[in-house]
Amino acid sequence: MIAKTFQGLEEVLAEELTALGANDIQIGRRMVSFSGDKEMLYKSNFCLRTAIRVLKPIKHFTAKNADEVYEQIKALRWEEILDVDKSFAVDAVVFSEEFRHSKFVSYKVKDAIVDYFRELNGKRPSVRINNPDVLLNIHIAQTRCTLSLDSSGESLHRRGYRQEAVEAPLNEVLAAGMILMTGWKGGSDLIDPMCGSGTIPIEAALIARNIAPGVFRKEFAFEKWNDFDQELFDSIYNDDSQEREFTHKIYGYDNSPQANQIATRNVKAAGASKEVTLRVQPIQQFGQPAEKAILITNPPYGERISSHDLLGLYQTIGERLKHAFVGNEAWILSYRDECFEQIGLKPSVKIPLFNGSLECQFRKYEIFDGTYKEFKTQESGTGFRKPEIKKTPGYTPGNQRPAFRKPDNNRLSDERISKDKE
């Protein structure tokens, strides 16, 4: 199987798969391949925080032109994969000199499947672009082709808790990956002083409580497959044995009252009102926290979100860190070197990450009082450790919830539910 992700998050995803019990884990570019049974397929969709989607390869082959792709696809026994009365769609990803247009490849795959069924019984399945019953993915790298079933459907970053968003919201998968990279699992307070619609605080709350991100989803694509095991998936969905208590706090601040209102609605929808405290507060008013804390934030870059004085904002961030975050560590995702330079602090870690199409850096700053040597002897030493997993170059892959299932917020205590209703 193949779990897709953003460039820069591959090792975090591999570590997640290791913890989940997957086998044969290998890291590629924007993907991690692994093996497992049907239960692992369901768990990977339901539990992985840094996966965009999970593909199940059904055929590997080589083809030099579109006609060869057609013949290879038509040779499959499609009645075992797709019911004739169900709809399907084809997504093509092409990196090849021989195949220059991904849409043309999609059409050839579609034609092969339709012609197969017509010759078999005179009927044909329908093609539906939006919300098909079965979503297929064909990946072509030069002449190497892999046809896969997309087990996720809608991208896994669409958790299901977001009620509304501010301009250019941080992707949930990226936010979760950033938090996991820091090594934070809920052992201290966490602060996002520019939280926007609340993505980092919400993802932090789910990590701290070890609540699976899939609990909010209405459906996954594999639920429409012919071999879907309802009982098996129900057991995964209703298993809360790995969830844990969180005894610290998560704080989200923003200078926009509108963003604060949006974040409040999103936090409530995620059932995280007990863990997350939100407040309208500009970065200029950021003060020294009373307890040990980690800061993780994604300030404006000046690309998609304008700031009246972008460089001045980063100067203020640096000034506040130096004077009001002593003894703690801060992690900042940003795009421009000139912005980082205004912070005026030397980062101890620089990690390349993509935020959409923007090649960003995720930098760690250790804010210490006194000499650096004294600080290093006192710090806990926690942080993201790369898993010892074999890397492979490039990508060479091979309905609604039933009524008896727990509602989304049933994971919560009576205390939290009553608070959320206030």
CA–CA distances in Å: residue 145 to residues 29, 94, 96, 395: 16, 9, 10, 11
Confidence of residue 308 (pLDDT cuts 50, 70, 90): low
Alpha-helical (H) ranges within 183-309 are: 199-209, 230-237, 257-269
Helix axes 10-20, 38-47, angle to 10 degrees: 130
pLDDT value of residue 131: 84
Confidence of residue 162 (pLDDT cuts 50, 70, 90): confident
Whether residue 312 is predicted with pLDDT greater than 80 in this model: the reply is yes
Which H or E element spans position 15? helix 10-20
Q: Are strands 2-4 and 23-27 parallel, antiparallel or unpaired?
A: unpaired
Tokens of 313: 């904002």
Tokens of 365: 């700053």
Q: Counting runs of H as helices and runs of E as strands, what totals does the chain give?
A: 12, 15
Specify whether the CB–CB gap between 413 and 48 falls below 8 A: no
pLDDT value of residue 177: 97
Confidence of residue 163 (pLDDT cuts 50, 70, 90): confident
Residue of higher predicted confidence among 371 and 286: 286
**Based on the number of CB atoms within 10 Å of its own CB, is 308 exposed (0-12), middle (13-18) or buried (19 or more)?**
exposed
Specify whether the CB–CB gap between 196 and 183 falls below 8 A: no
Summarize the confidence of residues 221-236 as an average pLDDT.
94
pLDDT tens for 95-153 read 887 777 788 889 999 999 999 999 988 898 999 888 899 999 999 988 899 999 999 99
pLDDT value of residue 303: 56
Tokens of 340: 């980082």
Whether residue 168 is predicted with pLDDT greater than 80 in this model: the reply is no
Summarize the confidence of residues 249-266 as an average pLDDT.
94
Count how many residues are written for the chain.
422
- Describe the strand order of the beta sheet including 2-4 as a list of residue ranges: 23-27, 31-35, 2-4, 53-62, 144-150, 134-141, 87-95, 126-127
Dihedral pair phi/psi, residue 351, rounded to 5° = -120, 120
Whether residue 389 is predicted with pLDDT greater than 60 in this model: the reply is no
Torsion of CA 42, 43, 46, 48, to 10 degrees: -130
pTM to 2 decimal places: 0.84
Looking at the chain, the whole-number percentage of residues with pLDDT higher than 70 is 85
C-alpha 123/C-alpha 105 separation (Å) is 23
Whether residue 404 is predicted with pLDDT greater than 50 in this model: the reply is no
Amino acid at 161: Y
**If you average pLDDT over every residue of the chain, what do you get?**
86
C-alpha 414/C-alpha 417 separation (Å) is 5
pLDDT tens for 410-419 read 444 333 333 3
